[in-house]
Structure formats: structure tokens, C-alpha cells
């Protein structure tokens, strides 16, 4: 009966994330999906709001047979001004947990200093399934829909996500 | 197929809240429970962290037969420094919704200025089921367990909630 | 050719303020009206937004013959978390000035430590013309319109100010 | 009888801005000039304080015959930590308005999601009249005075603006 | 060879604090005096800046024979917006330590949850030596100089501390 | 009997800093070492916490014969969101002082506008003794120990500083 955290920014949720979620769920009674950098949106690296990302996660997972959403909590967690306080602030916002699933070296370092148990999920075809690449493909009008779940793509289209990303891209280039 | 918000501080979750949750769920396909003032804890009026309050809500609702937790999201939402921005910040943190269930006059006012649909759930024995009263009873060592669900009481005891509240009470009195 | 600051919260603008504005203008080529606590609104002591207060000031002054609005700037200035930095932050937000018109002892103290020139305008029937009293009268449905300019009253009614104040009053009492 | 916003950073005010102000004023009874990123100064891209920028705008406009400053408000507006809240925070700081004059794609996007009316003023010789270019010319000791109004140049010299910019340039290069 | 923290607000430093400092020093090789609520000043409960409080502490301790200031560090530590993060933020600002000397129930609670070692110094005539009482005496023009060290009184007089406190008292009463 | 500030980030303390400290101490009765950007750590340019940097400074200076630590205060000072307020915030956190020792052009500019006395210490072999270079050497596994004091190196090793820097370097490259 273990409780685990899986931490990501989910900009957007992609098939690599879904594999990691399945991997984590097989070892846990409850999985808490932490939607990181929750306060950021409308930026090139972080186009979607936490609410939109939660919608992607929920609408997608509910359509995947082997996942039982009763065992899942989805919690948005903002960054802290003082980086080194991040894991402590996280602890105030989520139920207590036994293990953290993450591949981010910084998160790993901060938790290791606190003697927390960390599992690094195998990255599923990382080159292919990465948020950065998917956002690039969206801007370059290349294939992105095969890299995300059908239900995730539906959410992105309903919120005019591609249009928003193009705008952020345009603005970024004007400023740099 | 409606989505609704139910907003509360849940300091702690009590039987009145549970009636409101059932009431809201009967009219909705998805209920988003907003845990307000999420950044505050270890204060006399706000003793429990958002993570502890989410634990109370989840552990309790999962034991109530007529509630299907697959239809529920639990989202912590912090206060904003600028009060009048609160509902706009909320909109960034939750999926889009059709209706708000709340009895707080301030929240009602802010949403009404934005022409949002509001439902005021009937307050179930309000005198009896109020967070303020339950916290008072906890400090005065009067009956509080009958006012909350058994699973909620269990969480409060596991985190030594009564002890914490007494300490906050002691400190409050030293400063006032 | 002097430039002066007149600092107030203007919750709401009243006839006492208008006398002080006329008094200051007679000694200055330019008057900067500082709308203090600009970030606060929807509170019992601070019901109106900075934008609403600027609207009151502008719409009113433009109808007063002896005031030439070309000589007036209206600048909203937020509080600072660190109180003692307030006057320094103010200096970043307004044109440079020669004198400050204020009766607030704290503002006087902070400016005096910096050797700034301060003028305390005679308070025009202070008991009668005070923001606190006007807000109280608004809640108690007593006479408040005679204490403010006709154009100010018009703005307050257009934004449903009395209704908002009653709501804030109701909420305040529920929490205290 | 329309009220409009014209949004800019005015680092510094230049002749292109002045054309846009005239363009907007011809269609409005009141123009609110929003001095954006008001809290930032002493940075390479944002050398001048909001107070200095307001001084530039006011001292300049008062000397332009076809502009009646009685129809103009100049309001400093800070950035918000949460970008997506920017337009909502703006609404708290300015009188209510009918139309927004802006060419910034991000501002356009945020307002369009709120169904606000936007006008993009024709950019008057944009290559020539751009804040970035003027600041570069200031650092490189190339011609910048022809790109701003005489009264603006006077303010910049009174505050030793060129010296400050050189210093910020020096510091920027040490850090990058 | 132990390092210890002694936490206080020192508004102002009084003879009770000095006894606690001596008590702690006898058990330690290094004492870190934490000046809490470092960001607050010019408030009735917190009249003095962190810099002023550090001056009081340093100027006083250097004149006490049995104290060797080489073994003392004085570190200002601000409050955190999120109370429950306070001890974690403290840990980022001070050298690592073995024990905490404090009598504040809240600080004790937060540290106990982290299994830190706490010593409660005997309160030396607490009724008499309390910051609250000393500030009250200052306002009421009653005896306060006997409750603080001669060097502390000197600092308070050099910064016109009594005058400032009277002003803050006046302002507090106007607002309440 | 002069009091002076020496301002640095000390990421980490190196032999160039120590020369500057000795230089300043020869002209002062009290030296206040300001540990700047105190709130930042776990970043590539700012790997160490303020507490760790204070430990480096204290442990090192206490072993240098010609330095009397009784004449030294070490005060952490955070950055301010509003850059131009930095020197004013500093003034609230340190005892009052007569002179500032710094080579940072920005700090010099801000203090000069306030007519403060500034001394630029001769930079001791600047190419060699620079924080940037030392951090680079740490990552590239090149010689860094000769650039810092033995006691500073000891602190860095005790906190696994090199490991942390490598991690931050890895993360930086993943994001850029």
C-alpha cells in the first residue's frame, strides 16, 4: 500500500508520460501526479495553464483501460521563489508519500539531501517523446499528434493551443 | 454533462461539507473540490496544510458509497495578494466549469460581476457544522468527532491535529 | 514652479480631499495625486479599486471650475511588503517633487527621516469628512452623498458601490 | 465618447509613440496611457523608472499643440508574477475603457480571449522608431536625439540617462 | 564543539535576552543569534529595523566581559509568506547547527516535527523582561532603561526610537 | 572609527575576496561583510546557500592571523524584486555605515545617486580569482583548490559542493 509522486510539467502530456504513469501505478496503491510550475503559462516553454494541463491528464487517463483513476490524484504545485524550498513547499500541498518518480537531476538532488526514496522511470523513447520536441513540432507545423494521446490532442485543439504557441513563438523572437 | 466547482477551506472537512458535496454531485458529471487558502496552515483559523486537507477529503469520500470518486477532482488553490484577482487566478488552476457552489458572500460577489452561474447549497445545520465551531471544540476538549466523518477524524489524529491546534491557540493568546 | 505630492487612499474621494487639493494647487505648478494602497480593494476599509478611485477623482475634478486638470497627475502607488521602503518605492513611480502634502503621521515620519519638505493641509471639518465615517454611513444607509461631490456619488452608484460595501460588511462580521 | 488604452513600456518615449498617441486621441474622448512594466528599471532593456517615463510623457505632450492633456491619463502598471493575470490586474488599476491600442502579440492574445476590442495603430517607420534601437544608439554614441522629442531628450539628460545606460551595458556584458 | 541557534525578535534586546545568550554560550562553541521577522519594522510590535537590532546586540555584547563575540554570529532572518516553511528557510540562511534555544511554542512545534533538538532557556523574570512591556513603558513614558543594557539604550536614543514608537502608537490608534 | 560594507556574492569565497577583506579592515574599526543574493542557491551561478557561504567566510577568517573576527559582522542580504530599491533595503538590514567597498558598476551607480562614499578595492589578479572561473574549474575538474583558502575548500567538500555544481551544470544544459 504505497503512495507515490510523479512530477512533471506536462507541457503538454505526451505518450512518454503515460508510460511512466502506468509504470508507477503498477507499484503503488495511490499515485499523486504533481503538475509542476503550476503558476506559469503563456510562455514558450510553458504555454498551457495548470487547469488546461489537469484537463489533458484527466480526460486522457479516464479513457485508458488499464488505469483506474480512483487511484490517482492530480495536484498543481507552483514553483517557489527560493528554489531550495521547493520540496518543502511540495510537502505542504500533497498527502504524505513513500516514493518519488522523477528523472529531473535537480529534483533528485533536493530529495536525496532529505534521504527520500527516488525511482527514475525508464524513459520511453526519450528523443521522440519530449515536451520540447512536441512544442517545436507544433510551431513548425510538423507532426505532433502522434506523440500525444488522442484525448490530449482534443483538449489542445479546443483551447486553440497551436494558435497560442505560434503567438508566443512570434513574441519570443521579437524580444530575442 | 456539467462541471461544477465547490469551494471551501475545509479546516477541517465536516459533515456539512459532505452533504454539500453529495448535493453538488447529483447535478454534475464532474465535481472539482477547490481547497481554498491552500498556502496557509499552522494558523488558528487554518491549522491544516492543503496536503492534509486533501488527505481528509480523499480518504473520507472513498468510503462513502453514494460518491464515485472518479467524478471528483481535488485542487488546492492559494489566495492571491490582490483579492480581486482571486477568481481569475482560480480559472488558471482548474479545468473550465459551468457552475460554482458556494455560500461565501465575497466569492459570490466576485463571480457575479463576471456573470458566472452560482448555486448556494442549502446549509446543513449550519450552527452545528461549521469549521470555526469544530476548531473551538477541539481546543476546549469538547465533542468534535461527531461533527466530522470517522475517516476525517482518523487523519486528524494521525497528524496530531489536536495537539497542533492547542499550540496555535496558546501562541495566539500570547500575542493578543 | 513647484511640484507637490498629495497622498491619500481616497476610499472614497470626499469634500475634505477636494479642499486639500485646491489648497495644494494654489501653491504648485503641478500636483501629483498619489492614490495609495493601490493594490487593495474589495476590503471593508478599502472597497474601491485604484481604477475606480482614479475615475472618481478625474470625473470630479474636471467639473470644478477653479481646478485646471492640466496641472494634475493621478498616480496609483501600491503598498510595499517592507513598510520602511514605501517612500523609496513611491519615488520610483512619480516624477520628482519638491514637497509632500499629507497628515498621516507614519508618512510624515518616513519622509522626515529623509529630510523632505512636508506640509500638513488644514483638515477641513475632519470629523465630518473622513473616509471611515462615509463608509460607515454607506453601510448604515445614512447620509453619505452630502459628504462627497455629486460626480463622485455618480461613479459610486454606477459601480454598485453601496451594494459591494454591504457585502464586505456582511463578510467581515462573519469572520470576526 | 470613447475611452481607450494605449499600452507601452516607453523606454524611452519616442516619435513613433507620439504618432500613435495622436492617432488614438483622434478617436477618443479620453486616452489612458499605460506605462507598462512599471516596477522595472535600472535594467538594460528597461533603464528608466516609471516616474521618469511619466515625466517624459507629460513634459513632452504638454508641448504638442494638437494634443490636449486634459483628455489624457498616464497610469503606471506593474507586471504580474503570473503573466496570464496581467490584463485582469490592469483592469483594477485603470478606469473602465472601450478599446485597447496595442501592437504586442501577447497583449492582443490575452485581450482577444476576453473578447475586448483591439486596434493596432499603424507603426510609424518602425525600424527607425523602436525603443531597442534608440537604447542601442545611446550606448554606441550614435544619433538618438532625432528619434525622440526635444522635451524627452531634455528629461533623459537631466537624469543622466546616457551614463546610466552605459553602466547597465557594462554590467550586462560582465555577466553574459 | 556544538553550534546553537538562539531565536528572537529583539524588539528591543533586553536583559532577559542577555541572560539567555550567556546561558546558551556556556553550552556551545558557537552561538548564532537569529534576528527574526527581519523584514518588519516601523510597526508598533516591531518598531526597529533588523540593522538597528543588530547594532543593539553587537554594541551591547562587546561590552560584556564574560561574552566572547568571536563565538557569536548575528543573522537576520525574514518571515516567510508560508509560515510552515519558516524553519526550512532559516536553514538556508544560517550555518548548520546542533540545537535551538527558544521558548516560542510555534517555533518549538515546527522544529519538533523535524526531530530537532530544542532547549527552552529559563525565562529570567519574564513578567519584567518582555519586549511588549518595554515597548509599552516607552510609550507611557515609564521606566524602560532599567530593563535594557546601557549600550542598548544608547542605540535606541541615537535613532530617536522613543519618538518613532510614539508615532507608531498614534497611528495605530487612529486606525483601530 | 569607521564602519564599512564589503559587498559580494561569495560563490564561493576566494583568495581575491580575502585580500579585499584585509584591505578594507585596515581602514575600518568594523567591517560588515554583505553576503548578497542571499535568497538564491542551487543555481549554476549561485550554487551555495547563504548559510553555507557564511560558514565558508567565518571558518576561513577565524584561521587568518591578521584578521580579528571581533571587528567583523557577516550579514546575508536578499535581492529585491524592484532592483532600484536594493540599497534602501540593504540599509534596513545592516548597522549604519560610512563607506562601501565594491567593484560592481551597478551597486556603484545606485550608491552614487545617493551621494554615498565608495571605495573600489584593487582587484587582486582578477582573471585568476573570480567566482565564475572557480565554478567553471569545479565543473571541468580543473584546479580550483589553489584559488580558495584551505578552510573554504573544506567546507565545500563537506557539503558535497562539487557534486552539486555538476548536477546544476547538467540541468542547465538540458534546459538550454
Residue C162, min C-alpha distance to chain E (Å): 22
Contacts of F163 (CB under 8 A, 6+ apart): none
pLDDT tier at E153, thresholds 50, 70, 90: very high
Closest CB from F40, F41, F167 relative to A105: F167
Distance CA(F105)–CA(A63), nearest Å, equals 59
Closest CB from D38, D69, D73 relative to C74: D73
Residue D132, min C-alpha distance to chain A (Å): 9
CA F69, chain centre distance (Å):
16
**Inter-chain contacts counted by CB atoms under 8 A, chains A and B:** 62
Q: Scan for cell 536578499, then name that residue.
A: F78
Partners of chain C (3+ Cβ pairs below 8 A): B, D, E, F
Asked if the model's pLDDT at residue F166 lies above 70, the reply is: yes
Distances (CA, A) of E141 to E56, E98, E146: 21, 42, 13
CB C7 within 8 A of CB C118: no
Please report which helix (H) or strand (E) contains residue E87, including its range: helix E86-93
Closest CB from A83, A105, A108 relative to F43: A83
Helix-helix angle A50-61:A150-158, to 10 degrees: 150
Helix-helix angle D161-175:F105-112, to 10 degrees: 150
Task: With CB atoms and an 8 Å threshold, state whether C88 touches F92.
Answer: no
pLDDT tier at D103, thresholds 50, 70, 90: confident
E49 contact residues in C (CB cutoff 8 A) = 84
Partners of chain B (3+ Cβ pairs below 8 A): A, C, D, E
pLDDT tier at F94, thresholds 50, 70, 90: very high
B90 contact residues in D (CB cutoff 8 A) = none
Q: Which class for D132: exposed (0-12), middle (13-18), buried (19 or more C-beta within 10 A)?
A: exposed
What pLDDT, on a 0 to 100 scale, did the predictor assign at position F64? 97
Q: What is the C-alpha end-to-end distance of chain B, expressed in Å?
A: 50
Please report which helix (H) or strand (E) contains residue F17, including its range: helix F15-25
Kindly identify which residue of chain C lies nearest to residue E78, measuring between CA atoms.
C82
Model's pTM, two decimal places? 0.94
C171 contact residues in B (CB cutoff 8 A) = 104-106
pLDDT tier at A126, thresholds 50, 70, 90: confident
E39 contact residues in C (CB cutoff 8 A) = 81-82
pLDDT tier at E8, thresholds 50, 70, 90: very high
Q: Which class for A134: exposed (0-12), middle (13-18), buried (19 or more C-beta within 10 A)?
A: buried
For chain B, the average pLDDT equals: 93
CB A89 within 8 A of CB A81: no
pLDDT tier at A174, thresholds 50, 70, 90: confident
Strands F99-101 and F118-119: parallel
What pLDDT, on a 0 to 100 scale, did the predictor assign at position F32? 98
Contact of chains D and E by CB distance (3 or more pairs under 8 angstroms): no
B79 contact residues in D (CB cutoff 8 A) = none
Residue E171, min C-alpha distance to chain F (Å): 21
Task: With CB atoms and an 8 Å threshold, state whether D106 touches A42.
Answer: yes
Asked if the model's pLDDT at residue B26 lies above 90, the reply is: yes
CB B47 within 8 A of CB B41: yes
A83 contact residues in F (CB cutoff 8 A) = 40-43
Distance CA(B165)–CA(B168), nearest Å, equals 5
Stretch D24-41: mean pLDDT: 96
B171 contact residues in E (CB cutoff 8 A) = 104-106
In this structure, what C-alpha cell is assigned to residue F172? Answer: 542547465
What pLDDT, on a 0 to 100 scale, did the predictor assign at position F165? 94
Stretch E112-125: mean pLDDT: 83
Kindly identify which residue of chain A lies nearest to residue F168, measuring between CA atoms.
A106
Task: With CB atoms and an 8 Å threshold, state whether D92 touches C54.
Answer: no
pLDDT tier at F1, thresholds 50, 70, 90: confident
- Lowest mean pLDDT, pick from A162-171, B52-61, F79-88, F102-111: F102-111
Task: With CB atoms and an 8 Å threshold, state whether E110 touches B41.
Answer: no
Closest CB from A42, A167, A170 relative to D83: A42
Distances (CA, A) of E40 to B157, C38, E11, E134, F96: 36, 21, 11, 18, 17
Task: With CB atoms and an 8 Å threshold, state whether D93 touches C50.
Answer: yes
B114 contact residues in C (CB cutoff 8 A) = none
pLDDT tier at C52, thresholds 50, 70, 90: very high
Closest CB from E41, E93, E96 relative to F92: E41
Q: Which of D10, D33, D64, D73 to mutate to test the interface with C (most CBs of C within 10 A)?
A: D73
Task: With CB atoms and an 8 Å threshold, state whether B171 touches E106.
Answer: yes
Task: With CB atoms and an 8 Å threshold, state whether F76 touches E93.
Answer: yes
In this structure, what C-alpha cell is assigned to residue A152? Answer: 490530449
For chain F, the average pLDDT equals: 93
**Inter-chain contacts counted by CB atoms under 8 A, chains B and D:** 16
Task: With CB atoms and an 8 Å threshold, state whether E55 touches F91.
Answer: no
Distances (CA, A) of E96 to C7, F113, F163: 46, 39, 19
**Inter-chain contacts counted by CB atoms under 8 A, chains C and E:** 25
Q: Scan for cell 565608495, then name that residue.
A: F118
C88 contact residues in F (CB cutoff 8 A) = 85, 88
For chain A, the average pLDDT equals: 93
Interface of F with E (CB under 8 A): 38-39, 41, 49-52, 54-55, 58, 62, 69-70, 73-76, 78, 91-96
Q: Scan for cell 556603484, then name that residue.
A: F108
Asked if the model's pLDDT at residue C170 lies above 90, the reply is: no
Residue D145, min C-alpha distance to chain A (Å): 23
Reduced to 3 DSSP states, what percent helix, strand and coil does chain D have, rounded to the nearest 5?
45, 10, 40
What burial letters (b/e) apply to D135-162, b meaning 16+ CB within 10 Å? beebbeeeebeebbbebbbebbeebebe
Partners of chain A (3+ Cβ pairs below 8 A): B, D, E, F
Distance CA(D103)–CA(A171), nearest Å, equals 11
In this structure, what C-alpha cell is assigned to residue E78? Answer: 525574514
Domains of chain F: 3-175 (3.40.50.620)
**Inter-chain contacts counted by CB atoms under 8 A, chains C and F:** 16
F106 contact residues in D (CB cutoff 8 A) = 42, 167-168, 171
Task: With CB atoms and an 8 Å threshold, state whether B75 touches A70.
Answer: no
D108 contact residues in A (CB cutoff 8 A) = 167
Closest CB from B82, B84, B106 relative to C167: B106
Condensed to tens digits (0 to 9), the pLDDT of residues D41-90 reads 999 999 999 999 999 999 999 999 999 999 999 999 999 989 899 999 99
- In chain A, % of residues over pLDDT 90: 78
What pLDDT, on a 0 to 100 scale, did the predictor assign at position B124? 67
pLDDT tier at A171, thresholds 50, 70, 90: confident
Torsion of CA E62, E67, E68, E71, to 10 degrees: -110
Distance CA(C155)–CA(C22), nearest Å, equals 21
Residue A118, min C-alpha distance to chain D (Å): 31
Strands D99-101 and E118-119: unpaired
CB A79 within 8 A of CB A98: no
Give the 3-state DSSP-derived string for chain C, with helices as H, strands as E and coil as C.
CCEEEEEECCCCCCHHHHHHHHHHHCCCCEEEEEECCCCCCCCCCCCCCHHHHHHHHHHHHCCCCCCCHHHEEEEECCCCCCHHHHHHHHHHHCCCCCEEECCCHHHHHHHHCCCCCEECCCCCCCCCCCHHHHHHHHHCCCCCHHHCCHHHHHHHHHCCHHHHHHHHHHHHHHHC
Q: Which of A38, A76, A78, A87 to mutate to test the interface with B (most CBs of B within 10 A)?
A: A76
Amino acid at each position: 500500500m504505497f503512495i507515490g509522486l510523479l512530477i512533471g510539467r506536462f507541457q503538454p502530456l505526451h505518450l512518454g508520460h503515460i508510460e511512466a504513469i502506468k509504470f508507477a501505478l503498477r507499484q503503488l496503491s495511490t499515485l499523486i501526479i504533481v503538475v509542476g510550475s503550476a503558476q506559469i503559462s503563456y510562455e514558450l516553454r510553458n504555454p498551457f495553464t495548470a487547469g488546461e494541463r489537469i484537463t489533458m491528464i484527466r480526460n486522457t487517463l479516464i479513457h485508458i483501460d488499464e488505469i483506474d483513476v480512483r487511484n490517482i490524484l492530480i495536484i498543481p504545485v507552483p514553483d517557489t521563489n527560493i528554489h531550495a524550498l521547493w520540496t518543502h513547499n511540495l510537502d505542504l500541498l500533497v498527502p504524505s508519500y513513500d516514493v518519488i518518480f522523477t528523472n529531473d537531476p535537480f529534483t533528485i538532488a533536493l530529495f536525496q539531501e532529505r534521504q527520500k526514496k527516488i525511482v527514475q522511470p525508464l524513459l520511453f523513447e526519450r528523443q521522440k517523446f519530449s515536451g520540447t520536441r512536441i512544442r517545436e513540432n507544433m510551431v513548425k507545423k510538423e507532426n505532433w499528434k502522434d506523440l500525444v494521446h488522442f484525448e490530449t490532442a482534443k483538449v489542445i485543439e479546443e483551447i486553440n493551443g497551436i494558435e497560442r504557441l505560434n503567438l508566443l513563438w512570434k513574441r519570443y523572437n521579437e524580444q530575442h
